[in-house]
């Protein structure tokens, strides 16, 4: 079994490698290719990756290359974890929307649109080259904004599944609080990528007992702290919104918070430099503790689980992924991409049925899906007017003059990444 990781030079990669090593029974990789245009980083990350495999006795071979076509040749699955424009572009996404009173965030709001516009053409090009190299290969997209990127891939006919670590992170968190194993916890997770609610937390599987009320009663404060949402929101709703719902439910508070605190950019950049220095140490043969602060927890578990199911039968039968709606949420088009528990096997992902959704969630999901339609349109076809329309359609923008101001800024800050600008 051969896997390729595009964006393999990311400082996150050792997290993934560690998972591949630990979970080699689930996903028996014989060859792992790390592909990245940044050869220097790739050297550092690849070296550590090999030492991690060696230390844990993983027999697989690790190859590094900056040649995409060579790297994906013969791969059974390709993981996409790239960041067009790097941390500098992320820093921009987090900054200029604030000038217009909007949240600065790399997946939500105007910053998320910028990331989509930069990313979709690059990912589609990669996918096309993957298809040419191996039409049967699965593409697992971990690249944000996962919902829009996955939809772009599916619409172009690729064998793709979108993956995010929000659901698995909550599953692990809840399992710990409930003192059960993660595998016992099934989430009634529903929505769009980064716009999800846990409507139920079940023990033993999709039809197990819903212990969400008990979880909230006994651990509500812990959960609320984790999500940085007020406890009262959880109690009022009786469900658990994802961390990203803060950008909606507490929009003005978040904007104020972002405006009155220093940007995380310098801090993250410093952490990356520190990590890369560590990775260069030939004595280091495990992922350093500092990596945990970079986010992305349980990404490797999720990726291994998903790849195992897509490529064989080693993974969990039901996993939370991004896939075509196909009637699951009847108020969305079939070709909308939603994030829900799905049955995964070698033929792909089939969402489980979802009971009728409370309008409190359905309304926002429908609105954001409409934005995603227009965002994808803008990403595929370009043009100032399409950017404006996507922003006007976004529930966090919605006003014509702010949409205008944001459009100008988005284009000015991303010109080098937008072929049409």
Which residues are annotated as catalytic?
244
Backbone phi and psi for residue 196, each to the nearest 5 degrees, phi listed first: -125, 160
Considering the complex, state which of residue 70 and residue 370 has its C-beta at the smaller distance from its own copies. 370
Q: Provide the 3-class DSSP secondary structure of residue 324.
A: strand
**Does residue 194 have a known ligand-binding role?**
yes
Q: How far is CA 406 from the centre of its chain?
A: 24
Least distance to its own copies from the beta carbon of 18, Å? Answer: 34
Which of positions 397-416 make contact with its own copies (CB under 8 A)? 398-402, 404-405, 408-409, 412
Which residue of 25, 157, 207, 261 would you call a contact of its own copies, by CB under 8 A? 261
Least CB distance to its own copies at residue 64 (A): 35
- Number of residues this chain uses to bind its own copies (CB under 8 A): 56
Structure tokens at 119: 């990313």
Q: Is there binding between residue 95 and its own copies (CB under 8 A)? A: yes
Q: Which among 401, 224, 268, 304 is positioned nearest to 23, based on CA atoms?
A: 304
Q: Considering the complex, state which of residue 125 and residue 385 has its C-beta at the smaller distance from its own copies.
A: 385
Residue with smaller CB distance to its own copies, 39 or 360: 360
Which residues within the stretch 190-219 sit at the binding site for its own copies (CB under 8 A)? none
Tell me the C-alpha distance between 51 and 57, whole Å: 10
Q: Token digits for 132? A: 């040419």
Supply the minimum distance, in Å, between the C-beta of residue 229 and its own copies. 8
How far CA 347 is from CA of 181, 309, 344, in Å, comes to 28, 9, 8
Nearest to 35 by CA among 83, 77, 67, 73: 67
Q: Give every CB contact of residue 308 below 8 A, 6+ residues apart in sequence.
A: 26, 27, 314, 315
Q: Please check whether residue 353 is in contact with residue 207, taking contact to mean a CB–CB distance below 8 angstroms.
A: no
* Number of neighbours of residue 412 by Cβ within 10 angstroms: 11
Does residue 250 touch its own copies according to CB under 8 A?
Answer: yes
247, 394 Cβ separation under 8 angstroms: no
Chosen residue from 67, 218, 253, 345 binding its own copies by CB under 8 A:
253
**Per-residue DSSP letters for 227-281?**
HTS-HHHHHHHSSEE-GGGHHHHTHHHHHHHHHHS--SHHHHHHHHHHHHHHHT-
Nearer to its own copies, 209 or 253 (CB): 253
Which listed residue (262, 313, 355, 381) binds its own copies by CB under 8 A? 262
C-beta closer to its own copies: residue 39 or 266: 266
Closer Cβ to its own copies, 46 or 191, answer by number: 191
The residues in 338-377 that bind its own copies, with binding defined as CB under 8 A, are 359-360, 362-364, 366-371, 373-374
Residue 90 is labelled as binding a ligand: yes
Name which of residues 300 to 339 contact its own copies (CB under 8 A): 331-333
- By CB under 8 A, residue 260 contacts its own copies: yes
In the chain, what is the greatest distance between 2 CA atoms, to the nearest angstrom? 59
Site residues (vs its own copies, CB under 8 A): 95, 98-101, 104, 230, 232-233, 236, 248-253, 256, 258-263, 266, 331-333, 359-360, 362-364, 366-371, 373-374, 385, 388-389, 392-393, 395, 398-402, 404-405, 408-409, 412
* Residue ranges at the known binding site for Mn(2+): 164, 194
């Amino acid at each position: 079994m051969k896997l390729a990781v595009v964006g393999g030079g990311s400082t996150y990669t050792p997290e993934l490698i560690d998972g591949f090593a630990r979970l080699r029974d689930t996903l028996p990789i014989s060859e792992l290719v790390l592909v990245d245009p940044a050869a220097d980083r790739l050297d550092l990350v690849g070296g550590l990756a090999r030492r991690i495999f060696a230390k844990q006795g993983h027999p697989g071979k690790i190859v590094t290359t900056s040649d995409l076509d060579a790297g994906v040749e013969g791969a059974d699955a390709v993981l996409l974890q790239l960041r067009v424009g790097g941390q500098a572009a992320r820093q921009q996404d987090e900054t200029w929307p604030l000038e217009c009173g909007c949240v600065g965030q790399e997946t939500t709001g105007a910053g998320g649109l910028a990331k989509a516009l930069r990313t979709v053409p690059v990912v589609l090009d990669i996918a096309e080259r993957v298809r040419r190299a191996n039409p049967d290969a699965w593409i697992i997209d971990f690249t944000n904004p996962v919902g829009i990127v996955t939809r772009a891939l599916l619409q172009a006919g690729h064998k793709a599944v979108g993956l995010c670590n929000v659901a698995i992170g909550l599953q692990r968190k809840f399992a710990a609080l409930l003192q059960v194993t993660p595998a016992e916890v099934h989430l009634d997770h529903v929505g769009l990528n980064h716009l999800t609610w846990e409507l139920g937390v079940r023990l033993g599987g999709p039809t197990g007992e819903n212990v969400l009320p008990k979880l909230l009663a006994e651990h509500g404060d812990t959960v609320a702290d984790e999500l940085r949402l007020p406890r009262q929101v959880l109690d009022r709703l009786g469900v658990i919104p994802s961390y990203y719902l803060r950008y909606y439910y507490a929009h003005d508070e978040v904007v104020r918070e972002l405006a009155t605190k220093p940007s995380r950019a310098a801090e993250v950049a410093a952490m990356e430099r520190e990590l890369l220095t560590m990775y260069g140490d030939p004595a280091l043969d495990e992922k350093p503790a500092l990596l945990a602060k970079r986010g992305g927890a349980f990404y490797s578990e999720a990726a291994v689980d998903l790849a195992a199911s897509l490529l064989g039968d080693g993974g969990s039968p039901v996993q939370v992924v991004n896939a075509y709606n196909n009637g699951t949420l009847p108020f969305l088009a079939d070709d909308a991409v939603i994030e829900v528990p799905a049955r995964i096997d070698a033929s792909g992902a089939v969402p489980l049925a979802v009971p009728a959704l409370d309008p409190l969630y359905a309304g926002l999901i429908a609105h954001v899906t409409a934005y995603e339609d227009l965002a994808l349109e803008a990403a595929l076809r370009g043009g100032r007017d399409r950017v404006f329309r996507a922003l006007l359609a976004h529930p966090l923008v919605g006003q014509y003059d702010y949409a205008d101001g944001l459009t100008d800024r988005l284009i000015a800050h991303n010109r080098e990444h937008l072929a049409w600008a």
